[in-house]
Amino acid sequence: MPEEKKSRLYALKPLIERWPAVTKPEGHVNFRTKIMWTLLCLVLYFILTNVMIFGLGAGAIDLFEQYRFIMAGASGSIMHLGIGPIVTASIILQLFVGAKIIKLDLTKKEDKAIYQGTQKVLVIVMIVVEAIPQIFGYLKPSEELIGLAGGGEMANFLIVIQLIIGALLVFFMDELISKWGIGSGISLFIAAGVSQALFTGLFNWLPGAAPNAPVSLGNPPSGVIPGTYFMATEYSLEDLVGGGYQRMFIGTPGVYDNAIVPLIGTIAIFLIVVYAESSRIELPLAHGKVRGARGRYPIRLIYASNIPVILMAALLANINMFAMLLYQSNLPLLGGQWWLGIYNPELYGTTQAMGGGAWYVSSPGGINSWLIPIMQGGDQFHGSLQYAIKVIVYLSIMIIGSILFAKFWIETTDMGPSAVARQIQSSGMQIPGFRRDPRVLRKVLERYIPVVTIIGGAAVGALAGFADLIGTVGRASGTGLLLTVGIIIRMYEDIAKEQAMEMHPVLRGFFGNE
């Protein structure tokens, strides 16, 4: 047979071998060390989100405002780009490999190494690609920095350098956690940012409309609990009937969004995700040589975890960013075209699309932002039918996109039927009643894993979409809430797994650890 032609990405092999990376541990890393590195990176992440970009001027505009919590960064800080470049690089490679544009067989060790190495190179490219557009009218340097740097171009360059350094720190911390810690750095940073937003959204007693003004009925505390208590005690019966109840239950758009309905939605999503994460199919296993040694291999309903939603949200964030850049550019055919998306951040104070294609794929943003306009026949920008179409389009994109990314993800992370069959085989286990052969195991697993992957991908996409429709406490977004609940559950299970492997070293082989 003729030798199979290798992918052109093998030309990057010399670069990949010399690319800076966190060294993989040679042996087993004990549980205490993993916890230490994980907590250290988490503390460093919180510190860096409070380190603001040096020389940033007033009136900075956040291109990722709508997806800030999913991007796991802080607006205007050195962590402004967050995990965006990492996730974008992963999306690009997954799409190219899935479409067979890049011919790599990820079941082969050598091809998988090239894939992972190429992804690291592409992350650096995407850091630069996402950092440079930020200075074109969005992250403006202050007059002091311009004077210190000797001109506007040099000042912009210094801001870009700070963005690149922050994104590189996120990249290396993610790699450090994946090799020396527990779980995924990307997931941990998302959960940290959303948890902080949920806490402040629940308990913040400071006013949200005008932070420097005293608390009043027109400027209530921004937290759900203190805000609801304040309005319930200060409103008269006439005020409650005249709009007070609506404000307490669904809030006022842009002024008081932390209300009772988003709180109920937050609790409901939490309970649904916990139930979905616990739903699974369990295949019985028996040891081929040790009589009486039995176990079960769980195939979760949400098999690909929350990764498909992370990838889908990052894709929508990039669509929003590039649509805004194109709308405000002078490029032929694409510059200033309304059908891409209509933006006016200086006038409306938001980087969310006000119309066009990007508006239809953007998050609905809670009941106030879509249901009330539909009931009232629309607003100054769109009719009720357009809002209804937007809801349908957004939900469809989230569900279909999550299914596609779920399918790509299991094939690139050794979660497909073939890889799982090899893991079970190497542990000495087999399914009772079937021959001890990886091909037989693979056929059995192919009955379940592809189907569960599609159902799980659709489930997380639908949950994220519906959570965005209801709204959440702290403006953390439904997608961010869904991710955080799933991440915390997985983190708990990963810690339990690490403790089990520490107590019973023989389990390391079954879990794929050395």
Residue 265: closest CA among 351, 368, 188: 368
Give yes or no: residues 291 and 178 share one domain. no
- Gap between the terminal Cα atoms of the chain: 35
Task: Identify the three-state secondary structure at position 299.
Answer: strand
Two structure tokens written together for 9: 């990405």
Shared domain for 472 and 351, answered yes or no, is: yes
141 to 50, 61, 74, 152, 350: CA distances (angstroms): 18, 12, 18, 8, 20
| Same domain membership, residue 179 and residue 291 | no
> What is residue 280's three-state secondary structure?
strand
- 366 in the same domain as 503: yes
CB atoms within 10 A of CB 244: 18
- Asked if residue 282 belongs to a domain, the reply is yes
Query: What is the distance between the alpha carbons of residues 373 and 367, in angstroms, rounded to a whole number?
Result: 9
DSSP type of residue 446? T
Per the DSSP assignment, residues forming a β-bridge with 286 are: 294, 430
Q: Strand 294-300 vs strand 280-287: parallel, antiparallel, or unpaired?
A: antiparallel
Domain span holding position 277? 258-514
Q: Report the helix count and the strand count for the chain, using DSSP H and E.
A: 21, 3
Mark whether 431 and 284 lie in a shared domain.
Answer: yes
How far apart CA 95 and CA 112 sit, in angstroms, is 15
315 within a domain of the structure (yes/no): yes
Say if residue 329 is in the same domain as residue 472: yes
Kindly state whether residue 413 falls inside one of the protein's structural domains.
Answer: yes
Q: Are residues 271 and 379 in the same domain?
A: yes
**Does residue 447 fall inside a structural domain?**
yes
Q: Is 75 left (phi over 0), alpha (psi -120 to 50) or beta?
A: beta
Does any domain span residue 57?
yes
64 neighbors 71 (Cβ within 8 angstroms): yes
Query: How far, in Å, CA of 332 to CA of 354, rounded?
Result: 22
- Which tokens sit at 273? 């995700």
Task: Give CA–CA dist 479/470, Å, rounded.
Answer: 11
| Run of H or E residues at 468 | helix 449-470
Crossing angle for the helix pair 449-470 and 384-412, to the nearest 10 degrees: 140
**197 and 264 share one domain:** no
Whether residues 359 and 277 fall in one domain: yes
Query: Looking at 184-338, which runs of residues are DSSP E strands?
Result: 280-287, 294-300
- The residues that bridge with 294 in the sheet, in sequence order, are 286
CATH number of 350's domain: 1.10.3370.10
The residues with which 281 forms a beta bridge, in sequence order, are: 299
Residue 228's identity, in one-letter code, is T
Listing from the earlier edge strand, what are the strands of the sheet with 294-300? 294-300, 280-287, 429-430
Is the same domain home to 124 and 264? no
Is 240 within a domain?
Answer: no
Under DSSP, the state recorded for 30 is P
Same domain, yes or no: 448 and 367: yes
145, 24 Cβ separation under 8 angstroms: no
- Return the number of other C-beta atoms located less than 10 Å from residue 168's C-beta: 16
- Three-point CA angle 228, 230, 233, nearest 5°: 105
- Note whether 294 and 383 are same-domain residues: yes
pLDDT per residue rounded down to tens, the chain (514 residues): 344 567 778 888 888 888 888 888 877 788 888 999 999 999 999 999 999 999 888 777 787 777 777 778 888 899 999 888 888 888 888 778 776 777 877 767 788 888 888 888 899 999 999 899 888 878 888 889 988 888 888 999 999 999 999 999 999 999 999 888 888 888 888 888 888 888 888 888 888 767 777 888 777 888 888 888 888 888 888 777 777 777 788 776 655 567 888 888 888 888 888 888 788 887 777 766 656 566 677 788 888 777 788 888 888 888 888 888 888 888 888 888 888 888 877 666 677 888 888 999 988 877 878 888 888 888 878 889 999 999 999 999 999 999 998 988 887 777 788 878 877 777 677 777 666 677 778 888 888 888 889 998 998 899 888 888 887 887 777 778 878 888 888 888 888 877 776 666 555 554 555 4
Q: What is the pLDDT of residue 1?
A: 37
In a domain, 22, yes or no: no
How many domains does the chain contain in total? 2
Helix (H) or strand (E) holding 41: helix 31-49
DSSP 3-state assignment of 77? strand
6 domain-assigned: no
User: Helix, strand, or coil here: 297?
Assistant: strand
Q: Which of 310, 336, 313, 309 is nearest to 323 (CA)?
A: 336
Contact status, residue 226 vs residue 249, Cβ threshold 8 Å: no
Looking at residue 38, its amino acid is T
